[in-house]
Amino acid sequence: MASISSDNQHRHFENITGEHVTDDDKLLKLREATYRSNLTKLPKSIQDYIEEKAKICQPDAIHICDGSIEENRAFLQSLQKNGVIQKLEKLNNCWLALTDPKDVARVESRTFISTKNLLDTIPQPQHGFKEIDASLNLRNLKCSALGNWMSPEDLEYEFGRRFPGCMKGRTMYVVPYSMGPVGGPISKIGIELTDSLYVVCNMRIMTRMGIDVFEKIDDHGNFVKCLHSVGVPLPTERKIVNNWPCNPEMTMIAHLPEKNEVMSFGSGYGGNSLLGKKCFALRLGSIIAKREGWLAEHMLILGITNPQGVKKYIAAAFPSQCGKTNLAMLTPSVPGWKIECVGDDIAWMKFNERGELRAINPENGFFGVCPGTSEHTNPIALKVVQYNTIFTNVAHTADGKVYWEGLDENMVSHGEHLISWKGKDWTKESTEPAAHPNSRFCSPAEQCPIIDPNWESPEGVPISAIIFGGRRPAGVPLIYEAFNWEHGVFVGASIRSEATAAAEHKGKAIMHDPFAMRPFFGYNFGDYCKHWLSLNKDGRKMPRIYNVNWFRKSNNGQGSFLWPGFGENIRVLEWIFKRVDGNESIGQQTPFGYVPTADSLDINGLDLTQDQMKELLSIDKQFLKEEVIEIRKYFDEYVNDSTPAEIYKQIDLFNERVDKF
Ligand code: OXD
Ligand code: MN
């Protein structure tokens, strides 16, 4: 059983003993001042923002959230009363929401950035922009493989077709939150105005939400402005499914970097509505980071300690649903090694005055994918979700437990009464999945039994290595190390991966997902590469860069997975640890980079033949040739004139290495 700390200063979650953390006196006073929705007690810049948006959205009431445990209890009760969530009786303060089946994932096609100049946001594709689908209801949206753009004028038009009167009959909740520890030097503040109480309760888990945030706001409005509406004013003639109001035909998720604003309409789901996450911490975050000289990345952060007690921190970027949460919470299969989790999805990283790259996890919780999470793949996550968790779109048992594909097949064979995410009785004969493939748990990070002691350190943890990766059934070795920073940037820029269910894509195509940021770039990807390249300055300790591929399959991609993955991934991290420590003898040069020499990866005790190991690290000239052509084509077509010269130089160098191979 996970133990839940009760000594956290800022956040307050239900304690399993039934006691709870109380606010200190100062915060109690501020709460008193704001609790009765007393707008005039708030910093002027916030009052102005709320009044401006309330005038447009016309909510019936405004509630300023204080983030307290009592308020949260009342919110959960209200959601339960209105049939939005149900209590999971076999877990501790855990809840289940089932959405309208039309609102189940991030909608990338309706997510865009609005700037005066298109090129600030996306490169001009070599063959022009695709005709956009009229059913999107988004005038003049420019859609590209590296993000979508709309002019401020068109955005104003689209805003005007959606937001006026959109909160009629509803309450506007004001959610003050901090990404990163409140007041920390790398942290930033956001205010989300939303008409969804489900969103408020999830934001309270995913961010540091509370009135202490108001203290940090100045009169100039040093916060990111986030406006969210489910897009269903009341009364409505729409058929509301599962008490989950949404407006899929009119959904749009707009970012205005020039005003530090996000405007999201029509969806209550995940990254579309929890605006601190992808919208703020990644899209706007990456723009702010470029402006200020740091990095906002789609990366987990973990601490790794070797048997001698030496500890390092590693950040790793993989596309959605490639196992970031599993790696961040890894239970090592090799005795003596220890992994601790700092974060599972987003890293904000900044060089300090000593030239060290320091990273914080701006989030406060995990919004993890459920299917596939099990005692084998991620026993730690299973402990985390026992308490204070909001599940969305998983299956459940009639007596109040959760279920999803891969969790525990005994639950099916023992004949438990299962109810699918669509609310229907479910058996193994059912043709539809029990849980939606993108069903999620939303849990406080502080409940993680292996949370790193420094996870809330305001100045961040020092990063020694950065790992990239993706799902590559064929051709890409289990692990390689980039030759230097510039080559590493090229490795990140060339990530490709099989599509997954986190977004609306179908099928198993191998998609380019540079830096695992394709859906999350806040600005032109060419400029993003330039920014990464510009970070290599004298006096800085640049982390080494790696690429891993847990997903290589036998028979040139047609067979089964070669590498056991999960807890066994410690063996690859061990190799990285030793390389970072300066052990040059365990790497051999290949066209990709340095690959482990024979026997330098510890595979003792693994059910893996020497031939399989060879295959995992094997490199095929024909594959490489095609890879070079594909990467060059991608840059030519989609990054076009925005491609930095250094990237073309890296493609040429890669090509030369392949020719010589
Ligand atoms: C996520 C995603 O939810 O990447 O983290 O889609
Ligand atoms: Mn993610």
DSSP string for residues in 425-482: EE-TT-SS-SS-TT-EEEEEGGG-TTB-TTTT-TT-EEEEEEEEE---SSS--SEEE-
544-548 and 479-481 as β-strands: parallel, antiparallel, unpaired?
A: antiparallel
Tell me how far the alpha carbon of residue 28 lies from the centroid of ligand 1, in angstroms.
Answer: 35
The residue whose CB lies within 8 Å of the most ligand 1 atoms, and thus the one to mutate among 344, 367, 440, 517, is 367
- Distance, CA of 282 to CA of 289 (rounded, Å): 10
What is the helix (H) or strand (E) element at residue 253, kind and residue range?
strand 252-256
Domains of the chain in start order, with CATH, are: 38-85+107-280 (3.40.449.10), 296-361+455-660 (3.90.228.20), 367-447 (2.170.8.10)
- Distance, CA of 171 to CA of 179 (rounded, Å): 24
Query: Rounded to two decimals, what is the model's pTM?
Result: 0.94
- Are the CB atoms for 325 and 381 separated by under 8 Å? yes
Question: Does ligand 1 lie within 6 Å of residue 502's CB atom?
Answer: yes
* Other residues' Cβ atoms within 10 Å of the Cβ of residue 460: 26
**DSSP result, 295-329:** EEESEEEEEEE-TTS-EEEEEEE--TTSSHHHHHT
Tell me how far the alpha carbon of residue 392 lies from the centroid of ligand 1, in angstroms.
Answer: 14
What pLDDT is recorded for position 506?
57
What pLDDT is recorded for position 589?
97
What pLDDT is recorded for position 24?
55
- Are the CB atoms for 347 and 360 separated by under 8 Å? yes
What pLDDT is recorded for position 224?
98
**φ/ψ bin of 309: left (φ > 0), alpha (ψ from -120 to 50), beta (otherwise):** left
- Distance, CA of 13 to CA of 304 (rounded, Å): 28
**φ/ψ bin of 556: left (φ > 0), alpha (ψ from -120 to 50), beta (otherwise):** left
The ligand minimizing its distance to the Cα of 272 is 1
311-317 and 299-305 as β-strands: parallel, antiparallel, unpaired?
A: antiparallel
Question: Does ligand 1 lie within 6 Å of residue 367's CB atom?
Answer: yes
- Distance, CA of 591 to CA of 574 (rounded, Å): 23
What pLDDT is recorded for position 335?
97
- Distance, CA of 334 to CA of 107 (rounded, Å): 40
147-150 and 111-114 as β-strands: parallel, antiparallel, unpaired?
A: parallel
Q: Which positions of the chain have pLDDT values less than 70?
A: 1-12, 15-37, 500-507
What pLDDT is recorded for position 19?
40
Contacts of 187 (CB under 8 A, 6+ apart): 178, 179, 180, 181, 360, 362, 458
Nearest to 342 by CA among 379, 312, 378, 300: 300
Question: Does ligand 1 lie within 6 Å of residue 371's CB atom?
Answer: no
The residue whose CB lies within 8 Å of the most ligand 1 atoms, and thus the one to mutate among 321, 440, 518, is 321
